[in-house]
Amino acid sequence: MNKNGSTWYDTNGELIQAHGGMILEHEGMYYWYGENKNGATSIAPSGDIRVDFIGISCYSSPDCMNWTYEGLALEASGEPGHDLYKDRVGERPKVLYNKKTGKFVMWFHLDSADYTDARAGIAVSDTPTGPFRYVRGIRPNRSDCRDMTLFCDRDGKAYLIHSSDWNKTLRISRLTEDYLDVDGVYGKAFVEQEREAPALFEKDGVYYMITSGCTGWDPNNALFATSPTVLSGWKLIDNPCVGEHARQTFFGQSTYIFEKDGVHYLMLDHWKPENLKESGYSILPIQIQDGLLTIPFQEYTDLSKK
Ligand code: DGJ
């Protein structure tokens, strides 16, 4: 079983390359999408630590435990100047299935190596494993987009939650019905609070969001927030992590929250900036009581158990 806080392996014994990722359940199968960082770590002229853009990996699993590599769901382009050329950044991919169109829609943080382009990339596929076709990169509602996630509400309306205003504020931008664009309606959260790495879910009519602070690849104190609506009303509450190394999020950073068999799980990246391809993962159950979140660390999480 893969151990929380360390590197994880797929069914071929290879390092799982799905950083900044998410797990999507579709028709009884689980799909894990994330950044493929299986290349050399280097330093860009701007000083940013990076791996040249390779693409977005997809892994599948019937039990959310044993992950089979399905290849690159979205591949880098070989064309210099292209948004997806190797000199670019493609981070934190999230995928939603659109019931109306029958398409899988991917959003990701699309950027230049110095993180000044700050856009949201959009790609679409007929199947969960891809290939996804790159559609375009946008500035949602004319704002910059860095760390981001997607959230689909019970009514099918979907939202892009993204760090904006140079990471000072988080924005929640509602998507169009086909999920391929923003529809112009947006709200703000944590104005001037510098939060990133958003992950959110809803339970019993309360929306919960976990974010990190902005310290590059280094771990920091996570915070959870609650709200009665997705678009506005967010209030930062406390650090959900408890126990040893809780103030460093167990040396991890939030990337996504998914539900399996009635339990919500937080996915963490354990970045290793000296060799990003060896960054690890954790999947930790979230305890929810009286509107408060508690996340203790545990070495192993058996997701196959109902
Ligand atoms: C923090 C973000 O959460 C990561 O996804 C990545 O963009 C790093 N910053 C880059 O320094």
3-state DSSP call for residue 62?
Answer: coil
Structure confidence at residue 253 (pLDDT) = 98
Of 41, 91, 276, 279, the residue with max ligand 1 atoms within 8 A of its CB, to mutate for a pocket test, comes to 91
Tokens of residue 97, six digits: 């299935």
Tell me the pTM: 0.98
**Which amino acid appears at position 37 of this protein?**
K
Give the chain's domains with CATH numbers: 19-296 (2.115.10.20)
Evaluate if residue 293 carries a pLDDT over 90.
yes
| Distance from Cα 66 to the centre of ligand 1, integer Å | 27
- C-alpha–C-alpha distance, residues 265 and 267, integer Å: 6
Ligand 1 neighbourhood includes 111 CB (under 6 angstroms): no
Tokens of residue 245, six digits: 């190394």
Average pLDDT over residues 182-194: 98
Edge-to-edge strands, sheet with 253-260: 253-260, 263-270, 280-285
Average pLDDT over residues 108-129: 98
Evaluate if residue 284 carries a pLDDT over 80.
yes
In sequence order, the 6+-apart residues with CB closer than 8 A to the CB of 185 are: 173, 174, 231
Ligand 1 neighbourhood includes 92 CB (under 6 angstroms): yes
pLDDT tens for 28-77 read 999 999 999 999 999 999 999 999 999 999 999 999 999 999 999 999 99
Tokens of residue 202, six digits: 């809803």
pLDDT tens for 67-110 read 999 999 999 999 999 999 999 999 999 999 999 999 999 999 99
In sequence order, the 6+-apart residues with CB closer than 8 A to the CB of 85 are: 53, 76, 77, 78, 79
Structure confidence at residue 250 (pLDDT) = 98
In sequence order, the 6+-apart residues with CB closer than 8 A to the CB of 180 are: 105, 122, 124, 135
Percent of the chain scoring above 70 in pLDDT: 100
In sequence order, the 6+-apart residues with CB closer than 8 A to the CB of 286 are: 240, 257, 263, 264, 265, 266, 293, 294, 295
Structure confidence at residue 162 (pLDDT) = 98
Average pLDDT over residues 200-227: 98
- For the CA of 50, the nearest atom of ligand 1: 10
Percent of the chain scoring above 90 in pLDDT: 99
Evaluate if residue 306 carries a pLDDT over 80.
no
3-state DSSP call for residue 113?
Answer: coil
Evaluate if residue 305 carries a pLDDT over 90.
no
